[in-house]
Amino acid sequence: MLAWAYFHNEQYEEAIPLWNKIIELNPDYLFAYQMSGDEIKARESVVEILRIKPAYSMEWVKKLTIKNDERKKRIVEAYRKAGIPE
């Protein structure tokens, strides 16, 4: 929850260490890297996600339940830029 709090306050650098712990359990949270500007780490995370979940795609990302439409657009675009396949 703390990582989400940092994320929603656009404190991405504070969120990343917490996301690293989460990524070990659930690698889907690569958008924190992308949104903080670390495209290299975001792309590395995509490789790991696809290794663990080969069928992972933007279709799943687009189904995320996020009430704020602008935030959802930013997150979806972060996944796309990181290299999640359509």
- Domains in the chain: boundaries: 2-82
| Predicted pLDDT of residue 63 | 85
Residue type, 58: M
| Residue 75 confidence class, pLDDT cut points 50, 70, 90 | confident
Residue type, 16: I
Q: What is the pLDDT of residues 30-74, one digit of tens each?
A: 777 888 888 898 898 889 888 888 998 999 888 888 888 998 898
| Predicted pLDDT of residue 83 | 93
Instruction: Tell me, yes or no, if the pTM score tops 0.75.
Output: no
d(CA 20, CA 44): 13
d(CA 29, CA 42): 9
Residue type, 65: T
d(CA 33, CA 57): 18
